[in-house]
Structure 1
């Protein structure tokens, strides 16, 4: 959530940056500025009357002590009228503040100056490409056929048990999943992240704190009886560990990682681009999250991007890094890098990670602060990234490493899988 003071003092810049995100409700900015002006005027009036009432109370006591009862009674009448005015101002202030908050949460975060203009994924900026795209024989199979051939993943069993988008991993397919999770967690620990195990259900306050609510209700699974949501990503519970927390400056950066299943009610569609593991309603992911000093957050973003890239390099996957354009970015992000791996069988790039800097957008909602060098509280910056999301990693590993003899397991995973081949 943007800070009202920043919107008020930088109206033109706010409108300019929102335009990069293709945000159309420009009148909302002026509505917020007007409501903020009303709120401050009501606050000043209330404080002035309260000051008069407090001074009057002291004066009444002095008059009563000196036997001037009539003057005291007259002043009591005036004070009573002031208190009624204060009550009305308090009610008006609460109403204006509520309307202000409702409008504030509709504003997305402002994109960083480096974010390119654009609306569609095709307008994202390719920052770099790494590795050579593998060349497969003409009879190469896509991962969903490989999964069936080697009995690794059963999509139909998942439909039977739950529905489409909930696969069942079997045998070496299940072991490959477990190996990837353990490998990603171990690499995160080496990079300085402390592992946490987290609830898979969140309350409304947690969803609001990281920006999923009220923006993404339709994408999350809702448990109505308990008013809880299944997590769309571990980012939500990890970041909410620090909701309403004031950190010491020397505690920064705070670095956490965690593995969780993730649940997303993304709209279903048809075709090869969403077939097999390409789009799921439940999937596994290792998430890395940092809470950092505002002066260091963009350096940290580059470090987090480099960490994700190192995982892809170690797995031997060709990949590219995209800087997302304004229209393709998330609601709360100031700058996002997407990492995509090359699927040799499908002949297309598959997104496997997003790494984002939210600046103070989440911390303002979370009331996540730290004490700076002057001892004053200040909003921290929050960042998170997938390191990594498993489904499309598994898809590209299966497809790109297929041979006539079977599917070769990347060397870094063999200590975890305990096997070198799927055959």
Structure 2
């Protein structure tokens, strides 16, 4: 969400940054909407002043016995009252038109974000670890899971349709183990506060983080008043919605392990095999609320926290900086972590870490007061996956697979797996 005053003062800069997002100039149309609203407000103010003058004239005329003048003033007040009543409704319409137009515009990219049209223009930041070497042709996760008998897509489809999976036995336990490992790491070593949030949220929460109104087709609506969360970013970020927080309480860092629900409306025909792209999946989310001065530094810290999950699991990955054309709606700058999947012979996204500046805070009206100052400032918000649990399961299965179809359990997961060092095989 943007400050129309800033757009009025910086129209060329605003349009230039929108162009980096591949969008047409919008400052002129937005300023025109604001001009119409301001002109109408000026008319209302002038009418209110006339009404006040006419109201006083009624009393004066009656006191002097000039009934004709009093009646004229009464008629003038009635006329102005009608105009003001209809004018207030028109003001609401003009204000809503401006706010709706502003709400549809994505965040502006940070100055150091690489320019580009799509993922092909993303820039490699660094890599970590080495690709595993196999003495056999590595299989994809769904081949391994189906052979183990603990990854069932047919039964899930019978229950719920496509893009669902039913995990059982050792794979169900490993998925749970991965999520517990992530939350324990982020709370125990990285200073995040664990939260168990609602999975159903109202329109205002999704508006605050930028999913509504533009991306309703990507969501699942549960009832007239509630939506299923597409990510725990929504409830975690909205913890500070409408609040004025003290500077001393910042940064606030939250983590949550939840199920997430997405319609995958734009992914028809993509990743139809396996569990890479599901309607329901679990994810460990990281959210930070900071002041303006420290938000970019917090992004680097958050990235490190997400990377620590993959380092602990011994997985090879790379980090890329998303270009202007590939960033999400609310982001100013985003890093993607892409884990290596030997079964696919490809890197796949397993985490995105983004700084949103005050974009979401303006939509949520989330502010803070600096020590010793009266002025209020909007907080800065960040979010990231720490990490996607289902994709971490895929990565562990493919990177730790053995020729006999078993899967070696990474050291950090063994305490969560009852000490097991392998899963699968004849006993699966």
2:32 pairs with one of 34, 52, 67: 34
Distance in 1 separating the partners of 2:358 and 2:75:
48
Shift of 1:290: 1.3
Deviation at 1:399, TM superposition (A): 0.9
Matches within 5 A, 1:212-361: 212-223=211-222, 225-267=223-265, 268-270=267-269, 273-361=271-359
- Mapped pair 1:207 → 2:217: no
Out of 97, 100, 106, the position equivalent to 1:99 is 97
Contact 1:135/1:344 (8 A) holds in 2: no
Match of 1:137 in 2: 135
Equivalents in 1 of 2:53, 2:247: separation in Å? 41
After TM superposition, the structure 1 stretch with the greater mean CA deviation from structure 2, 88-97 or 341-350, is 88-97
Report the equivalent of 2:381: 382
The answer for unaligned runs of 5 or more in structure 1 is none
**Contact in 1 for aligned 2:164/2:275 (Cα 8 Å):** no
Match of 2:192 in 1: 193
The alpha carbon displacement at 1:59 in A equals 5.9
The 1-side partners of 2:367 and 2:65 are apart by 53
Equivalent residue, structure 1, for 2:414: 414
- The TM-score normalised by the length of structure 1 is 0.93
Deviation at 1:305, TM superposition (A): 0.6
CA apart distance, 1:85:
3.4
Asked if the contact 2:178–2:392 (Cα under 8 Å) also holds between the matched residues in 1, the reply is no
What is the aligned partner in structure 1 of residue 400 from structure 2? 401
The Cα RMSD (Å) is 2.1
SS at match of 2:162: coil
Question: What CA distance in whole angstroms lies between the structure 2 residues aligned with 1:108 and 1:142?
Answer: 36
TM-score for both structures, normalised by structure 2: 0.92
Partner SS, residue 327 of structure 1 = coil
- Post-superposition offset of 1:316: 0.5
Measured against aligned partners, the alpha-carbon deviations of 1:297-331 in whole angstroms (never above 9, x if no partner) come to 11111110111011111111111111111111111
- Cα deviation for residue 91 of structure 1 reads 2.8
Residues 159 and 165, structure 1, Cα contact 8 Å, conserved in 2: yes
Whole-Å separation in 1 of the counterparts to 2:115 and 2:339: 24
- Aligned equivalents of 1:401, 1:337: Cα separation in 2: 26
Deviation at 1:29, TM superposition (A): 2.9
Q: For residues 56-111 of structure 1, what are the alpha-carbon distances to aligned partners after superposition, in whole Å with 9 as ceiling and x for unaligned?
A: 54565566567676655544444334333333432322221121122112211111
Partner of 1:372: 370
Distance in 2, Cα, partners of 1:43 & 1:62: 29
Q: 1:55 to 1:292 in 2, by over 3 A?
A: farther
Tell whether 2:117 aligns with 1:119: yes
Q: CA deviation at 1:194?
A: 1.4
1:31-71 deviation digits (Å, cap 9, x = unpaired): 11111112122223322332443455456556656767665
The number of residue pairs the alignment matches comes to 419
Instruction: Report how far residue 203 of structure 1 moved.
Output: 2.0
Query: Is this contact kept in 1: 2:367–2:376, CA < 8 A?
Result: yes
Give the Cα–Cα distance (whole angstroms) in 2 for the partners of residues 45 and 379 of structure 1.
32
Q: Provide the rounded CA distance (Å) in 2 between the counterparts of 1:377 and 1:55.
A: 37
Change (3 A) 1:387 1:79: same
